[in-house]
Amino acid sequence: MIQTDRKITRSKYLANSVVVVDGFPGCGKTLFGPIISSLSRVEIMQYIFEIEFICRLSFLNKIDKVSASALISMLTDHKLYQTMMGRDTNFRFSDLSGVFKNPFPLRYFKRIFSEGDMKIPEIIETERPILNFVAHDLLSYSEPLLEAIGKRLTYIEVVRHPLYMVIQQTLNMERLYTNVDPRDIQIYYDYNKKELPYFCLGWEEDYLRSNNVEKAIFSIHHASQTSERLKKRLKMEKESFNLLTIPFEAFVVSPESFIENITSLIGTEKTNKTLKVLKEQNVPRTKASEGIPLDIYKRCGWEPSDKNLSEREELNKRREWIERMGASKETLILMDILSENYEKTYNYSPKEKKL
């Protein structure tokens, strides 16, 4: 009889430096992709859905962590190899993760016609590329990724005031999870003959009895708790990877110190494209809500900042929206607690009056 309980291993690697930008839906993490891509040796922004799926299946105990880590290690090297070969690169013109939105588009056209295959390891050793990944709500479930990449990983956690995230998350509940849209290629599990998304584990009954805005508030609450528990445990265990938490509001108003931290952690520097990309992202800005009018942001509930409102009044407007959407007294109180905790934790004091 053939023995099948073999331990899956992966000890060698191609990718020497990996950056992961992560955060909850609506936190503003996609703003960081092109900015980080503007730094020396950093590659094009790539979403890592496959790695997210593996981590979430491991979280649900459907894949053991050792095998999940080996898979992630292989996938990471495969992404680097394919990128350096000019394969699997996004040439869709309007995509945020596409070549045409990258600060160095010619790099990716040249690779199509350049030497590849056996030459790639030599090119990687010479050019020392840095992978630039963007993830979605991954930190809470990221242990297999952290184990796979270890000290080669710089993990950037983008956080944002919950009142700035709740509209997009409410729309997600309405458009994706409520109707299980076939476009939502995500991990679901069976709960009393109902399909629930991965993040509901442990609070299924709250999810099922809630309307869309209440689901969004509960989701922010539980994800925040899980992430904080993991960060505290990792700090105690002194895990060997770099974790940088960036409050969105602080970054977009005054980005310089954060960019210095990023370049220091990943061992790179700014280029002549960095300032241009910051200007394209309207960074620095006067108010956190003064974003740029991209179609994808509009689809996610973004609206132009009201020039007559202060930062605090912008937040109050979003809280009033939650009330209009039918949030219960319980969830309104929970949102107020989440908001207060955020402002205290990240020393965020929104201006009360418009200057």
Dihedral pair phi/psi, residue 244, rounded to 5°: -120, 120
pLDDT digits (tens, 9 = 90+) for 281-336: 999 998 888 876 555 545 555 566 778 889 999 999 999 999 999 999 999 999 99
- The mean per-residue pLDDT over the stretch 99-124 comes to 94
Question: By the 8 A CB rule, do 51 and 137 touch?
Answer: no
| pLDDT value, residue 176 | 74
pLDDT digits (tens, 9 = 90+) for 57-102: 999 999 999 999 999 999 999 999 999 999 999 999 989 899 999 9
Q: How far apart are CA 170 and CA 213, in angstroms?
A: 5
Residue among 312, 334, 306, 304 at smallest CA distance from 322: 334
The structure's pTM equals 0.92
Non-local (6+) Cβ contacts of 250 within 8 A are 258, 346, 348
Rg for the chain (alpha carbons), in Å? 21
- The mean per-residue pLDDT over the stretch 152-178 comes to 91
Q: How far apart are CA 52 and CA 145, in angstroms?
A: 9
CA distances from 53 to 64, 71, 75, 142, 190 (A): 13, 11, 12, 11, 16
- The span from the first CA to the last CA of the chain, in angstroms, equals 77
Residue among 11, 84, 87 at smallest CA distance from 41: 84
H/E element, 244: strand 242-247
Question: By the 8 A CB rule, do 300 and 168 touch?
Answer: yes
